[in-house]
């Protein structure tokens, strides 16, 4: 698998994702400049965390217009795999590749800490190697991770099983205390209807080596790498 990691002005997790896939997972990886249309024959595109274009206007609002995102949209529309992490999730929502929006955290403060997320659906290439109901410990770092959509969209997300991760306690229970940002229905990650585009607020690349203090994110990355060739 060849992994393409986008660099926007303001990205700060691009090299983290690059390292996790290349050095930890042993995959071919390349860095993709925001001002280019060339995805360099990548099999998986990572839209990383950070503050693309300084998060001016609102998170992801400017990044969606970058030349590289035009290519990412065509890639996704043709079935290509796209993973948006944190700011990447925000960008994918702004680009209409995923439903919903990310609002300011309920506390109106930036939050950086480890959280627990429950796997809700394994019928995707991102989660195929995980188990439904499995709880992962992965860190977050965001000021605008409060997922929101209208009632009709939420109903569709449930009907189509597009909610992939929810914030829970370590025991897998949903509670207000376990929801760090006020996200609707405790949603931490959703996919598109085609299940080839996933956005998630937690950072799996920050939980991919023992030196980082947690490794549950590596299970997600390995799941994606190992299932990429499966006809899901």
Query: Are the beta carbons of 90 and 144 closer than 8 angstroms?
Result: yes
| Residue 205 is a catalytic residue | yes
Q: What is the 3-state secondary structure (H, E, C) of 68-127?
A: HHHHHHHHHHCCCEEEEECHHHHHHHHCCCCCCEEECCCCCCCEEEEEEEEECCCCCCCC
From the list 102, 109, 93, the residue with the least C-alpha distance to 143 is 109
Q: Facing residues of 101 across strands?
A: 148
Q: Tokens 């992939």 belong to which residue?
A: 164
How many angstroms separate the CA atoms of 207 and 34, rounded? 26
Identified catalytic residue from 13, 93, 144, 203? 203
Q: Tokens 């959703």 belong to which residue?
A: 190
| Residue 40 is a catalytic residue | no
Identified catalytic residue from 94, 120, 144, 205? 205
| Residue 34 is a catalytic residue | no
Within 86-232, strands assigned E span 101-103, 111-119, 135-142, 146-148, 163-168, 187-191, 197-200
Identified catalytic residue from 13, 25, 86, 191? 86
How many angstroms separate the CA atoms of 119 and 167, rounded? 9
Q: Which residues are catalytic?
A: 86, 203, 205
């Amino acid at each position: 698998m060849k992994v393409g990691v986008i660099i926007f002005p303001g990205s700060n997790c691009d090299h983290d994702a690059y390292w996790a896939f290349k050095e930890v997972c042993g995959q071919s990886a390349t860095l993709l400049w925001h001002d280019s249309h060339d995805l360099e024959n990548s099999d998986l595109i990572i839209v990383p965390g950070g503050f693309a274009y300084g998060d001016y206007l609102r998170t992801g609002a400017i990044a969606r217009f970058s030349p590289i995102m035009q290519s990412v949209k065509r890639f996704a529309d043709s079935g290509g795999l796209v993973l948006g992490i944190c700011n990447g999730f925000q960008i994918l929502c702004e680009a209409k590749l995923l439903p919903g929006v990310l609002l300011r955290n309920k506390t109106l403060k930036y939050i950086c800490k480890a959280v627990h997320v429950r796997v809700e659906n394994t019928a995707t290439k991102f989660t195929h190697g995980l188990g439904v109901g499995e709880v992962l410990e992965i860190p977050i770092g965001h000021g605008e991770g409060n997922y929101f959509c209208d009632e009709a969209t939420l109903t569709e997300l449930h009907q189509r099983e597009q909610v992939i991760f929810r914030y829970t306690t370590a025991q897998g229970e949903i509670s207000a205390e376990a929801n760090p940002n006020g996200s609707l229905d405790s949603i931490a990650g959703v996919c598109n209807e085609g299940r080839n585009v996933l956005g998630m607020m937690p950072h799996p690349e920050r939980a991919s080596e023992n030196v980082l203090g947690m490794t549950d994110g590596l299970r997600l990355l390995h799941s994606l790498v190992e299932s990429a060739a499966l006809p899901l």
